[in-house]
Amino acid sequence: MNGRHSGRPTLEEVAVRAGVGRGTVSRVINGSPRVSDRAKAAVEAAIAELGYVPNRAARALAGNRTDAIALVIPEPETRLFAEPYFSDIIRGIGAELADTDMQLLLTLIRTPKERARFGQYLAAHRVDGVLLVSVHEDDPLPDLLEQLEMPAVLNGRRSDLESVSYVDADNVGGARAAVAHLIDRGRRRVATITGPLDMYVARARLDGYRQAMADAGLGGGAAGGGATGGSGAGEELIAAGDFTEEGGRRAMRELLARRPDVDGVFAASDVMAAGARAVLREEGRRVPGDVALVGFEDSAIARHMDPALTSVRQPTEEMGRTMARVLLEEIAERAAVRRHVVLATELVQRESV
Amino acid sequence: MNGRHSGRPTLEEVAVRAGVGRGTVSRVINGSPRVSDRAKAAVEAAIAELGYVPNRAARALAGNRTDAIALVIPEPETRLFAEPYFSDIIRGIGAELADTDMQLLLTLIRTPKERARFGQYLAAHRVDGVLLVSVHEDDPLPDLLEQLEMPAVLNGRRSDLESVSYVDADNVGGARAAVAHLIDRGRRRVATITGPLDMYVARARLDGYRQAMADAGLGGGAAGGGATGGSGAGEELIAAGDFTEEGGRRAMRELLARRPDVDGVFAASDVMAAGARAVLREEGRRVPGDVALVGFEDSAIARHMDPALTSVRQPTEEMGRTMARVLLEEIAERAAVRRHVVLATELVQRESV
DNA sequence: CTGAAAGCGCTAACAT
DNA sequence: ATGTTAGCGCTTTCAG
């Protein structure tokens, strides 16, 4: 009735080999300080000799934890935000997790049904924490996570009042710098192509645009303090996009129709900037000669865009790293301490403008 | 000594509620046919009422499996092959796994040390199977996997003699179609920019080039049957790249130096095609007027390249799907049946050339 | 067809 | 400091 060993040595065998009890072996493995050096050495030797590797499942079962975290990616977003952004995030997360024995579970959520099932998923204690990217304002997942008291970190935030821990780029600052740059270069009729305004990131970038315009005394709207509201004459310099190239095209056409004299455009994403540039060229405008473009670097295509195109770079990989670090901390302390991290962006000037 | 319930209902509770034994509940959950309809109904009702979700750790421990597979990505490759390729693969894998309760573990391997640790990782039975992308010819991982009798599926293959299961795109066919296309359009001095020839995928694409050249009676080398060997006058139309844009530039310059009269180029990746195009333009050649370009679509930038640029499209997402499907099959049958799947590519003609 | 019982390998509380 | 013991929740014989 015994002995259908799966081949691999168990903690028990290590204990025997080392001439100690199982408890001691467990303590050594988990780095408990309450072990004599002698015992510790013996155990470590036995582990090495036997090639012992702890069984995760057993550990998870007994310890009521999984040593795994989930990276949740809503499927639609994966397309929108151009993939390299995620790649970098993932790279960062991976880098941070490398020293840990924490596993990274990839969880793609594509349907509302799967979204619903996610609750169960978490409930089943299948992960110690959750990393969430591309959260929309009305995303119920963060609240669910909070209810379940599940450690979680968002990439970005739903609003200024985000309660769940998050790591975000300084979108306002980045946008502001981008627009200020255009203005510094002598552009006066600077327009912006926004992202979908139900996303905080899009609103933040629009805010940055407004602030920069206001700072320069140009009529970019009512802002200056950070409020997204505000309307006025400058509104005709604002066109809504949706972070897609086609959206960028549409918005650029709209802008051109409303203000043929536009001489600078800040697009809230490089993909939209690419679309805008295409339209500008079709319309016979020189870029950046007639119209200068600055985009937010969300995607790899930035590297393949017009070399003269300046853009706002986000510390994407660093964000991934930070997300993981924050999550690990949150898991370590059982307390629900929320952390809000905003990382600086950088204006990468490609050429003349 | 008991009762520090974690809150969630257990199989035992379901059994009590349904008025059956634990064994029966387990059978129902695992879809065993050896259960009466009555018992099954009772158990299902109890499960629904209690909101029972099986505990994966317990299951893994008792069943000696994990219901998880690992997607292994060598870090360096992640950069090379431009990320969208992976994104699509992952999307496909995710889609296929959605109906399963199989988990996807993301495993980034960046250092030789981590590569070494991977053996332990597997040994600890932490996954039921492995998905491997971007395998180099000298990659030891596939062999390790085979030794361990671990179900595994590669994306691509190390050579024509690959022993491990794989899912690959028809690189030879794609390259051949691309070059044939150029020749059909009247190009006669068609060159190729290859990938690193220590990768099968690069050799396969070169083979395709050679075959098409030979078919047309143009001196593309000695080939025709698939051998990569072969030299001759046509060799000067072949330049080695490394799948990077800069590599594409270098190769293009080389080509131009050797054969200023080149009128068509098949680049083994779109990233290199982009580099080649940049050089061509710098040199004052019109693309595709003077020199027509066809690239293999590995990356998203294809979408942003010259609209006149025709390219070879791979069924990337489908490949991911297939990989997952094949792996699941391999896991299901305990036997080590190797499957080799080659999916067709498609020539996407953008415009005139 | 279905209970009962024996673990899977580990952690953690309890005695020493 | 360390051995012992009792489970964690599930799968799987083994008897009926």
Same domain, A238 and A148: no
Pair (B286, B164) in one structural domain: no
Q: Nearest residue on chain A to B307, judged by CA atoms?
A: A278
Cβ atoms B316, B302 nearer than 8 A: no
For A288, residues 6+ apart whose C-beta sits below 8 A from its C-beta are A306, A308, A309, A352, A353
For residue B335, the surrounding DSSP H or E stretch is none
| CATH number of the domain enclosing B50 | 1.10.260.40
Helix H segments across A197-297?
Answer: 200-215, 245-258, 270-282
Residue A32 lies in a domain: yes
Does the beta carbon of B66 lie under 8 angstroms from any beta carbon of chain A?
A: yes
Q: Write out chain B's pLDDT in tens, 353 residues.
A: 333 456 789 999 999 999 999 999 999 999 988 899 999 999 999 999 999 999 999 999 999 999 999 999 887 665 544 467 777 888 899 999 988 989 999 998 888 888 888 888 887 778 999 999 888 888 889 999 998 889 999 999 999 999 999 999 999 999 999 999 999 999 999 999 999 998 899 999 999 999 999 999 987 444 444 444 444 447 899 999 998 889 999 999 999 999 999 999 999 998 899 899 999 999 999 888 889 888 898 776 655 555 667 889 999 999 999 999 999 999 998 767 889 999 999 998 876 54
Say how far apart CA B201 and CA B297 lie, in whole Å.
13
Q: Identify the CATH number of the domain in which residue A204 sits.
A: 3.40.50.2300
The closest of A261, A172, A264 to A212, measured between CA atoms, is A172
Contact B126 A114 (CB under 8 A): no
Beta pairing partners, B191: B265
CA distances from B4 to A42, A60, A143, A253, A331 (A): 34, 16, 27, 64, 21
Is the omega angle on the peptide bond into residue B288 within 30 degrees of 0, that is, cis? yes
Q: Are residues B193 and B309 in the same domain?
A: yes
Which residues, in sequence order, are bridge partners of residue A173?
A: none
Which domain does A46 fall in, by range? 11-54
Sheet holding A190-194, edge to edge: A238-240, A190-194, A264-267, A292-297, A310-313, A346-348
A94 touches chain B (CB under 8 A): yes
Same-domain check for residues A300 and A328? no
Helix (H, G, I), strand (E, B) or coil at A341: strand
- What is the phi/psi pair of residue B219, to 5°? -75, 80
Distance from CA of B163 to the nearest CA of A (A): 25
Residue A69 carries which side chain, given as an amino acid letter? I
> B215, B182 in Cβ contact below 8 A?
no
Q: What is the 3-state secondary structure (H, E, C) of A63-130?
A: HCCCCEEEEEEEHHHHHHCCHHHHHHHHHHHHHHHCCCCCEEEEEEECCHHHHHHHHHHHHCCCCCEE
For chain A, what percent of residues have pLDDT higher than 90? 60
Give backbone dihedrals phi and psi of B24, rounded to 5 degrees, phi first: -65, -45
A271 shares its domain with A183: yes
Q: Is residue A59 part of a domain?
A: no
Residues A276 and A207 in one domain: yes
A285 and A331 both lie in a single domain: no
Neighbours of A64 (CB within 10 A): 13
Separation CA A319–CA A344 (nearest Å): 10
Tally of residues, chain A: 353
Where does residue B69 rank: exposed (0-12), middle (13-18), buried (19+ CB within 10 A)? buried
Structurally, chain A folds into a number of domains equal to 3
Q: Is B231 near chain A, with CB under 8 Å? A: no
Cross-chain CB nearest to B91 (options A71, A78, A303):
A78
Give domain status of residue A111, yes or no.
Answer: yes
A178 shares its domain with A306: yes
User: Phi and psi of A266, rounded to 5°?
Assistant: -105, 115
pLDDT above 80 for A332? yes
| Strand C closer than 7 A to residue A58 Cβ | yes
Please report whether residue A61 resides in a domain.
Answer: no
How many angstroms separate the CA atoms of B132 and B119, rounded? 14
Does strand C come within 7 Å of the CB of A5? yes
